[in-house]
Chain A
Amino acid sequence: MDFLIFQVPMLTLQAVLDGLLLGILFALIAYGMALQWGVMNIINIAQGDLVILGGYIAYFMYLYGIHPAWGVIVSPIIMYFVGVIIYKLVINKVVDRDLFISILATFGISILFMQLMNFAFGADVVLANSGYGTTMLFDNSVTLPNSKIFSAFISIVFAIGLVIYMKKSKLGRAIRATAQNARAAKILGVDTEKVYAATFGINAALCGVAGALISITFTIHPYMGLPYTIRSFMIVIVAGLGNLPGVAMSGMGLGVFEEFADYILGTEFRIGSVFLLLVLILVYRRFKLSRKREYLK
């Protein structure tokens, strides 16, 4: 390996910029996961599949001649209801049970979604062409597709919007109260069942936005869900629950890491390196905590 990437500064810059723009998208998905993990104490393995489903909604709009950027509006609305339905059917039965039960149940949902999407949309890799063109920087040596910039911008808008919504609105306050202490919230008149459903719906809606953006910027495929789940899980455990700036930072860090892994190790090891990084991070944190005779909780 000749590590060309470190010898040419423009390539490094390209990788960093690509990684940052990609990482903002990851952070948006991870934000949804942190939200429902913090509120409902559930790890949703189907997170990535919700993303892909959201992507297919935008892709279908593109197929029917509507500009896929409108998917950013339509997809979260549809996905909100998908999320609420999933909650009503499955998640509400596993909310207060063992975490492993929720992992396994959502794994089942993930397999189900994967195969249903495979039936409905076919096993081809697709993308919705936004036709936004590219921006050239530094004498055409760094190319940035405008769709990536657009998607990063939209992600930031949605993330900030949600933060404000959680702070100001009544539902947002109810969600935060439930996250702090579900029992106390119940006593004080918060309908926690409704709050849980709304939380899962909001999570699914965020996945929908991210999916629509991914279908514009990158490609989607029915079986590509699990890596997104793992990425968002990784971002959340690095940042910690309820640490929003941390989620954004670690998301962008992960994006940059992936771009560099792609250049240095080769594309075939990209997903593998993401999963390996997860293992390494968990093991690192385990050793760090075991010095104080603690463990990851």
Chain B
Amino acid sequence: MNKNFILYGAILIFGIAAPFIFPAFKVQLSILCILIILAITWNVQGGEMGYNTFGNILFYGLGMYLCASVQVGMFFPLGEWTEGGGEKTFVHTPAQFFQGFAVGLAVAAVVPAIIAGLIGYSILGLRGHYFAICTLGLGVAAGEISGGIEIIGAGQGFTTPPFPNVDRLEARGEFFYFCSFIVLVFTFLAVKAIYSTRFKLVLNAIRDNEDKAEAMGIQTMKYKIIGWMISAFFCGLAGGIMGGLVGYIDSTDVAFDGREMGVFMVLMAILGGKGTLWGPVIGATLFHIFKEGFWTFFLGWQYVALGVLIVVIVIYFPEGIMGWLREKYPERFGEVVDEADRKAQVTLK
């Protein structure tokens, strides 16, 4: 307990101090926070519940579009804004910007959660690979359809409101960093709190054997939908912040980017170890460092590297880092190991 307290305190202090220690990496740090949020929320489905989804990108993209649309639409006509493209016909005052962003984030969190609740009953009735492919289809369909809707910019994209001019040059990066960091802390604590309740046990029961869980009197569908709504809530928040951070929303390359973000979140959670609280955090951090290093030095080959990385991780590392640690040091994870039993084990060849 005490040791954990020190650990959390150290991470929190580091998180607050990070943009001042590494001022050049503020955007990267914000993206890292977003990635960790996505990995944690994916883990609620993929790791704890056993429902491997490619569809959380749907909520991420929805949040992105909703936040930007609300932020613009609260003060200016949305259609004219997107028609103008990047031209600055309308300028947000600082008060309008922050007000709009706050309301936008709220909408970006709540609406995806509601949508997850609405479609949850239909989609979560599917199992295994059918669920995976169905959610993959949902994500891609959302991207293709939003690329055809005029009012949110269609194919030419949607420029989010630029950060208002305030005196400090650093303000934009710090604002978005602290937004994403606060949401990250909030997400982590919320998920940690959820994992310490019966809810997590129910999710694990669904993962291990859904029919038996149902036979034990658990209303599995209710829990699955609630789990998905929680994920959608935080994915929407992450998307909203990411939209403001990137400054430009494209339907298939930024918002509903199943080929990048949608796979990243799965990969990060698997790399760290699914079904653990810290796994996605570690996985996302390592993945981001690797990705940025590779993106910088081997520009153009990043997708090739990504493809190889996916194959290698999935084939050789399906348990992830936390799973590997758990196998090596089971005592630290609270498992009781009988020493004589372990010695008696013989590996078959």
Name which residue of chain A comes closest to B303, CB basis. Answer: A115
Q: What separation, in Å, do the CA atoms of A283 and B138 have in the docked complex? A: 11
Closest chain-A Cβ to B217's Cβ sits at a distance in Å of 15
Q: Output the least CB separation between B289 and chain A (Å).
A: 20
Query: Which applies to chain B's interface (DSSP): helix, strand, loop or mixed?
Result: helix
- Number of residue pairs across A and B with beta carbons under 8 Å? 132
Q: Does A100 sit within 8 A of B, measured CB to CB?
A: yes
Among the 9-residue stretches A73-81, A245-253, A273-281, the one with 4 or more Cβ atoms under 8 Å from chain B is A273-281
- On whether the beta carbons of A278 and B134 are closer than 8 Å, the reply is yes
- Quick check: B138 and A93 within 8 Å, CB to CB? no
Whether B125 contacts A275 by the Cβ 8 Å rule is no
24 contacts between A and B (CB under 8 A): A43-B133, A90-B315, A97-B318, A100-B128, A100-B132, A103-B129, A105-B311, A108-B306, A111-B259, A112-B311, A119-B304, A230-B133, A230-B136, A230-B140, A266-B148, A268-B144, A268-B155, A272-B143, A272-B144, A272-B147, A273-B141, A279-B138, A282-B130, A282-B137
- With a cutoff of 8 Å between Cβ atoms, the chain A residues found around residue B189 in the complex are none
| Contact in complex: A100, B129 (CB < 8 Å) | yes
Q: B residues 233-265 with Cβ under 8 Å of A?
A: 259, 263
Q: B307 within 8 Å of A by Cβ?
A: yes
Given contacts A99-B128, A101-B314, A103-B132, A275 and B137 within 8 Å (CB-CB)? yes
Could you tell me if B122 and A287 are in contact, using CB atoms closer than 8 angstroms? yes
The interface residues of chain A lying within 8 Å CB-to-CB of B16 are: none
Q: A226 vs B262: C-alpha distance in the bound complex, in angstroms?
A: 14
With A286-B122, A286-B125, A286-B126 already in contact, the answer to whether A111 and B303 are too (CB < 8 A) is: yes
CB distance from B87 to the nearest CB of A (A): 24
The 4 nearest A-B residue pairs measured at CB: A112-B307, A108-B310, A272-B144, A275-B141
Q: Which has the most chain B C-beta neighbours within 10 Å: A90, A111, A114?
A: A111
Q: Does A130 contact B (CB under 8 A)?
A: no
B266 touching A272 by the CB < 8 A rule? no
Interface membership of B179, Cβ < 8 A: no
> Is there an interface contact between B52 and A278, defined as CB atoms closer than 8 Å?
no
In the complex, the answer to whether A226 meets B140 with C-beta atoms within 8 Å is yes
Decide if A275 touches B52 in the complex (CB within 8 Å).
Answer: no
B122–A283 touching, CB < 8 Å: yes
Q: Which A residues touch B52, using CB under 8 A?
A: 100, 103
Bound-state CA distance A15–B24 (Å) is 57
Q: Which residues of chain B have C-beta atoms less than 8 A from A24's C-beta?
A: none
Q: Which of A105, A108, A116, A278 has the most CB of B within 10 A?
A: A108
Contact of B123 with A by CB under 8 A: yes
Chain B residues with CB below 8 A from A266, complex form: 148
Q: Using Cβ atoms and an 8 Å threshold, which residues of chain A touch B138?
A: 275, 279
Are B137 and A269 in contact (CB-based, < 8 A)? no
Query: By the criterion CB–CB under 8 Å, are A104 and B141 in contact?
Result: no
Min CB–CB distance B264 → chain A (angstroms): 11
Interface positions of B (Cβ within 8 A of A): 52, 122-123, 125-130, 132-134, 136-138, 140-141, 143-145, 147-148, 154-155, 259, 263, 266, 270, 300-301, 303-304, 306-311, 314-315, 318
Q: In the complex, what's the smallest C-beta–C-beta distance from A44 to chain B, in angstroms?
A: 12
B133 A103 Cβ-Cβ under 8 A? yes
- CB atoms of B307 and A111 under 8 A apart: yes
CB distance from A236 to the nearest CB of B (A): 11
The one of B147, B259, B304, B306 that contacts A268, using a Cβ cutoff of 8 Å: B147
Mostly, the A contact residues are: helix
Q: How far is the CA of A90 from the CA of B306 in the complex (A)?
A: 15
Residues of A in contact (CB 8 Å), total 45
Given known contacts A269-B144, A275-B137, A295-B127, is B314 in contact with A115 (CB within 8 Å)?
no
B79 CB, min distance to chain A CBs, angstroms: 18
B216 shortest CB reach to chain A, Å: 16
Q: In the complex, what residues of B have CB within 8 A of residue A283's CB?
A: 122-123, 125-126, 134
Please provide the chain A residues from 65 to 100 with a CB less than 8 Å away from any CB of chain B in the complex. Answer: 90, 93-94, 97, 99-100
Q: Is A107 an interface residue (CB 8 A)?
A: yes
A290 beta carbon closer than 8 Å to chain B = yes
Query: In the complex, what distance in Å separates the CA atom of A94 from the CA atom of B315?
Result: 7
The docked-state distance in angstroms from the alpha carbon of A113 to that of B259 is 13
By the criterion CB–CB under 8 Å, are A101 and B306 in contact? no
Beta-carbon nearest neighbor of B52 in chain A = A100
A295-B300 Cα distance, complex, nearest whole Å: 43
Which partner residue on chain B sits nearest A99 by CB separation? B129
Query: B141 contacts A276, CB within 8 Å?
Result: yes
A104-131: which residues lie under 8 A (CB-CB) from chain B? 104-105, 107-116, 118-119
- The CB with the most chain B CB atoms within 10 A, among A90, A269, A278, A279, is that of A279
- Chain A's closest residue to B210 (CB) is A295
Q: Is A187 engaged at the interface, CB distance under 8 Å to the other chain?
A: no
Q: Is A166 at the interface (CB under 8 A from chain B)?
A: no
Bound form: Cα–Cα A97–B315 in Å:
10
A130 to chain B minimum Cβ distance, whole angstroms, is: 29
Which A residues are in CB contact (< 8 Å) with B136?
230
Q: Is the CB of A272 within 8 A of B125?
A: no
Q: How far is the CB of B267 from chain A (nearest CB, A)?
A: 8
- Taking a contact as CB atoms under 8 Å apart, the answer to whether B314 and A279 are in contact is no
Q: Is the CB of A276 within 8 A of B307?
A: no
User: Is A271 on the interface with B (CB-CB < 8 A)?
Assistant: yes
Q: Is A59 an interface residue (CB 8 A)?
A: no
Which residue on chain A has the smallest CB distance to residue B146?
A: A272
CA of A1 to CA of B148, assembled, Å: 15
Rounded to whole angstroms, the CA-CA distance of A279 and B136 in the bound complex is: 9
